[in-house]
Amino acid sequence: MYNITLIPGDGIGPEVTMAARKIIDATGIDVKWEIVNAGANVYEKKGVLVPDEVYTSIEKNKVVLKGPITTPIGCGFRSINVLLRKKYDLFANIRPVKKIKGIDTPFENINLTIFRENTEGLYSGIEKKETEGAAQAIKVITKKASLRIIKEAFDYAKENSKKKVAVVHKANIMKLTDGLFLECAREVSKEYPDIELQEVIVDNMCMQLVMNPEKYEVIVTTNLYGDILSDLCAGLVGGLGLVPGANIGKGIAVFEAVHGSAPDIAGKNIANPTAVILSGAMMLNYLGEKEKSDLIIDAVQRTIEEGKYITKDLGGISTTSEMTKAIIEKISKK
């Protein structure tokens, strides 16, 4: 039996995490879900963003399925996502972006995985207002954090027979910070002679991805670029409703979709549950349950390819619950 912490989150979070939970349960795997919540909803009720029980549950169970959490812009509200990633040193944010059959996109063979450094860069939280008219943010790049995310990307490439890893940077302008990240990539790549290191400047990468995404297999980059490129890549395969993710540290792992809490469609039962369901499949794979993970991926792919029960963002008319039910039926028939 697995003990897993479930954080429903804000906005569409409760709807899509509930769908993922039902689907994981439908595979027959024995999971004891411990539901604890954090975020804007909790803040309104309890006056605290992350109640202690959330930390206790994460530290006990060590594996988390998490819904998106709202971070209001501009006010003194810290991002809980950034906080959890830093607190538990979840240094590797891994986001596989894959073409799903049945979704009409300009490219046929997109299959790449983004490794985003998750603990520093411009998300270090060091910002200050100099005067009324000037503010500063500090970008932190360390050799330790850079080497470990880059190694993670190369190890993944090696284990999955990938031939190339692209390091995305802006070292031409940010010579010390991005320069260090690039140097680390060159250093690590020497240990993997069979894998080509592609060095790509971030602005060029944006253009390359919208014109030739099939050229890339693994992308490793710093925090902000990784955040932006993930949404860009989600757009290439059909939108944010489809791309899963994992935040992995040493011993603790949090699985969540790339997308946010989507307040514009929250509470309407129309959100696409695929990204969180596939994050759940990544979680099962992490737990060593590859067969169950593949079962979920296959059921999701067949449901989308069939096109009968898909949500509005994919061109369908089904609700979140109808799509979830269709996926469960496919799992049960296997």
Residue 71 touching ligand NAD (CB under 6 A): yes
Indicate the residue among 201 and 206 with the shorter CB distance to ligand NAD: 206
- CA 177/CA 169 separation, integer angstroms: 9
Instruction: Please tell me whether residue 272 binds ligand NAD under the rule CB under 6 A.
Output: yes
Give the nearest distance from C-beta 310 to ligand NAD in angstroms.
11
Minimum Å gap between C-beta 298 and ligand NAD is: 20
Of the candidate residues 243, 275, 327, 331, the single one contacting ligand NAD (CB under 6 A): 275
The length of the chain is 334
Six-digit token pair at 153? 């990307």
Q: How far apart are CA 6 and CA 300, in angstroms?
A: 21
In this complex, which beta carbon is closest to ligand NAD, that of residue 185 or of residue 253?
253
Note whether 202 binds ligand NAD by CB under 6 A: no
Piece of 139-147, 197-205, 260-268, 280-288 that binds ligand NAD (CB under 6 A) = 260-268
- Which tokens is 241 given? 């409703």
Candidate list 41, 70, 119, 146; residue touching ligand NAD; CB under 6 A:
70
Q: Which stretch binds ligand NAD (CB under 6 A): 108-116, 213-221, 253-261, 283-291?
A: 253-261
Residue 15 within binding range of ligand NAD, rule CB under 6 A:
no
For residue 260, which of 245, 248, 250, 249 has the smallest C-alpha distance?
245
Interface with ligand NAD in residues 41-60 (CB under 6 A): none
Complex with ligand NAD: residue 251 or 315, whichever CB lies closer: 315
Query: What distance in Å separates the CA atoms of residue 334 and residue 320, rounded to the nearest whole number?
Result: 22
Strand partners, 9: none
Residue nearest to ligand NAD (CB): 260
On whether the CB atoms of residues 244 and 253 are closer than 8 A, the answer is no
List residues bridging with 286 in a β-sheet.
none
Q: Is 264 in the site for ligand NAD (CB under 6 A)?
A: yes
| Structure token pair of residue 37 | 């919540």
- Among 151, 259, 292, 330, indicate the residue that binds ligand NAD (CB under 6 A): 259
Whether the CB-CB separation of 278 and 205 falls below 8 Å is answered with no
Span of 29-37, 68-76, 87-95, 118-126 interacting with ligand NAD by CB under 6 A:
68-76
Number of H helices, E strands in the chain: 11, 12
Which residue in the set 262, 282, 283, 331 belongs to the binding site for ligand NAD (CB under 6 A)? 262
Residue of 250, 293, 23, 34 lying closest to 144 (CA atoms): 250
- Residue entry with tokens 């490793």: 220
User: Would you put residue 239 in left (φ > 0), alpha (ψ -120 to 50) or beta?
Assistant: left
Residue 241 makes contact with ligand NAD by CB under 6 A: yes
Output the smallest distance, CB 261 to ligand NAD, in A. 4
| Residue type present at position 295 | L
Which part of the chain contacts ligand NAD (CB under 6 A), choosing from 67-75, 127-135, 203-211, 322-330?
67-75
Inter-residue contact 15 to 73 (CB < 8 Å): no
Residues that bind ligand NAD (CB under 6 A): 12, 16, 68-71, 81, 240-241, 256, 259-265, 271-272, 275, 313
